[in-house]
Structure 1
């Protein structure tokens, strides 16, 4: 991607219409982010139908801005109210709320905003530099290589996100089965419809995602008690010299850790946030720093930079290979498909003007987010204090309307509501949602590339080195997940649960002594 193309992308984005879209996206995303229990995935799912009425650049720009805003909003409530808007904001709650009680809430919020901004800018540059190179490499991918990559993505997310490979793979298979309902794209036969003409139209991605991440999350939150929402004073937004100096290193480390880990399927922003927090805490303990857990600014700067860096890193495999690294990227992939855009190398070759505009929009959205949200901290705190028993039903109605607008079908409204209850049941059963989503999104591509691969050669799996590489990675991921589960089970097992033979041997050894 040359300089002229990038400048053309900025010329496309820096128009009043696109700037307004970016502003509304940042505002709406932050609004959802400050609501307890909700986050960027829910925000994207709820607002997804509205973006289908926009042109592709405006639609992806709004979804990206919603994504950033949702992540920032979660850190705001985590610092002010000790209520993480999402999992990746938990480190900010651990370190930010003690600072709030000491009257340093403004400094904590400013540090989170600046760290997120720095990570967003550096991550955008990373997308600009790494994306085209990876896209040129992906031009050598045929159906077998794509089949192997999708297989690795599903196994990686099933193992890394769910914690249990069996549960993760089971949910991924369930998602793939749900994606097959309707007419087969190749044979034209009905699949898993059980003779129902209603099911023959299949499950559209929009109502399914709104149900899982919109209605499902709201129902889970409504069943919980409203938390204490007393808000302390924000105070000055200017960190002290010592706080600024202490946050520089964690911000830089978190940015690069998050970005490169974000390239790997399954490495969600929440995962990178916790990894960085544990790293920074260990570094502090080695230096004899006892502030962690009681209000360390490093515990805010590093994780906030890491989750934003991972968010940006996820766009590289999405645009270059068509592989989402998590639920948020899966929703943006669905948006690209709705617009008729096929993610992959062609986005950087045949549609370089579109890709340049999107990359330029990332920079613009990060600037808007920084300028918009710091002055509105008081507003977000007041919104977070509204009882969720009032806000939740309003959002549910918006979800159902959004599901109806996608195809003007009452069947989609029922699908949306049904998948909302399915998400609630899965949460109660402690079954992971991310593998199901990835299976639903990637299932048709997995089926198509597998068919094409066997058509090309029945022994393709032994003839294509890149496929073999991804197959080995998939097996290694499964093996590592099983090993980790066995080791965790052994470490957590009580002494009395050891096998009788082991206890008898231990007893004999003790009597011999």
Structure 2
């Protein structure tokens, strides 16, 4: 293995190879940082360019685009509360408040290092144990996937704040919106109300940008001059001590493992892993009430997990020929384009190319951290732009991002609809994250439920008799039960304290 990896580095570390990886990372960062231009789009555009290249050079460019595209999403997430990519949703929760508190530099430092370390861990795992991990993922059928998704949805209870009911309502609303359009199995149109534009349903990007960016613009528009959000650039902190980095060690490891595990499971991806890692970090924190107000823990959790999902998603692609997400589906096309057949025999027949891909990922990860740190102070200067200039620019980017994904005017309308919905939800105390989680996981939930019922001929028992599925369903009940108990205990303690205060006054 070591000899093959050294050979892979020798193939990649040529002038041409380095320039291709550098160019891929830079272009990926640009695409990832502009809402609407994702890593998927960058790879789709550049895939035909690689056709005339040597397979190693072509895959080196694509790996650079992949790493840069995922990592670039942290830039607008921290500065503008715009999730540049679906995998940076949770970065906005604490990254943006940190920026508003004069800690944009700190937020970037934590996010960049977390991205690098999360990616590094997942790539090393990919290199060492891709075949056995791929076989484990292959054992998961529709029954197991259904139970895992139910468990993930149960984590909505942890994102619901003080009101479990409001969180559950938001999650169900997200699932309802996901059901608009063609059904996943038979393509039967649902809830389209005779409008052909709704046949394709709501796209993820307009939903995300509307909920997290347009709603923020509307909230800021309400603020008076006294509530000016302009940040004092002189007070921005860039320094992060080694002790602060080391203090995030367990958070980084846990979040990276979550991202790696989710990435290995085909179809779920970094858009879900960063939210689940954020929830895990919040649940294990001694001060969960600080999350959402600007703590590095939330930024580290999100960025570690979404970059760790990169290596995870490549495990089933390389070892089994199964793409883990949309990007790896394009990479599958790239491999086939160069005459390679992903699957169990890929490493055996084309080991030199596979290990060159591994080496390209490691080199791209290094370039990613270098370019982000070099550009960090330039990114932070965006905070000095007055709100009356910045907000219209953000609005324009939102519209371009929503329209650019599919070229549909309908998506622009959906953008403003979800923006208004997000604004009203925030005003009335409904959390936005459960809605997003429900929207992302809703189609996967329905697809696996229907596939399972087709396999069992309408019998629900396999969902309970499968050991893996049964275990996750038990975890689901436990997760909801713990939240209910936690809320009850808090209310009881509050009543006890109030009673003691009244007794003291008497």
TM-score (norm 1): 0.67
Aligned residue among 57, 62, 68 for 1:65? 68
Tell me which residue corresponds to 1:296.
none
Determine if contact 2:23/2:64 at 8 Å carries over to the other structure: no
Tell me which residue corresponds to 1:461.
463
Determine if contact 1:26/1:365 at 8 Å carries over to the other structure: no
CA deviations on 1:63-83 (whole Å, 9 max, x unpaired) are 7535434547877999xxxxx
Question: Which stretch of the first structure deviates more once superposed, 264-273 or 193-202?
Answer: 264-273
Tell me which residue corresponds to 2:304.
309
- What CA distance in whole angstroms lies between the structure 2 residues aligned with 1:211 and 1:305? 24
CA deviations on 1:64-119 (whole Å, 9 max, x unpaired) are 535434547877999xxxxx98444489789996xx9xxxx89x987886576445
- What CA distance in whole angstroms lies between the structure 2 residues aligned with 1:358 and 1:162? 41
Tell me which residue corresponds to 1:250.
247
Map residues 420-431 of structure 1 onto 2, 5 A cutoff.
420-431=419-430
Q: Does 1:483 align with 2:485?
A: yes
Determine if contact 2:5/2:358 at 8 Å carries over to the other structure: no
Aligned residue among 158, 161, 166 for 2:159? 161
**Change beyond 3 A, Cα 1:404–1:117:** closer
Tell me which residue corresponds to 1:172.
171
- What CA distance in whole angstroms lies between the structure 2 residues aligned with 1:418 and 1:483? 36
Tell me which residue corresponds to 2:257.
260
**Change beyond 3 A, Cα 1:179–1:374:** closer
Determine if contact 1:257/1:276 at 8 Å carries over to the other structure: no
TM superposition shift of 1:137? 0.8
- What CA distance in whole angstroms lies between the structure 1 residues aligned with 2:452 and 2:237? 61
**Change beyond 3 A, Cα 1:379–1:396:** same
CA RMSD of aligned residues (A): 4.9
Q: Does 1:54 align with 2:45?
A: yes
- What CA distance in whole angstroms lies between the structure 2 residues aligned with 1:77 and 1:491? 38
Determine if contact 1:175/1:440 at 8 Å carries over to the other structure: yes
Map residues 52-451 of structure 1 onto 2, 5 A cutoff.
53-55=44-46, 62=65, 64-71=67-74, 86-89=92-95, 117-118=116-117, 120-126=119-125, 128-129=127-128, 133-156=132-155, 158-163=156-161, 164-224=163-223, 225-232=227-234, 244=242, 246=243, 249-250=246-247, 252-260=249-257, 262=259, 263=261, 268=276, 270-271=278-279, 278=286, 308-315=303-310, 333=325, 363-451=362-450
TM superposition shift of 1:139? 0.9
TM-score (norm 2): 0.67
- What CA distance in whole angstroms lies between the structure 1 residues aligned with 2:196 and 2:75? 44
CA deviations on 1:394-440 (whole Å, 9 max, x unpaired) are 12212212322333322222112212222222222222222222322
- What CA distance in whole angstroms lies between the structure 1 residues aligned with 2:42 and 2:412? 18
TM superposition shift of 1:236? 10
Q: Unpaired runs of 5+ in structure 2?
A: 48-58, 82-89, 263-272, 288-294, 318-323, 334-340
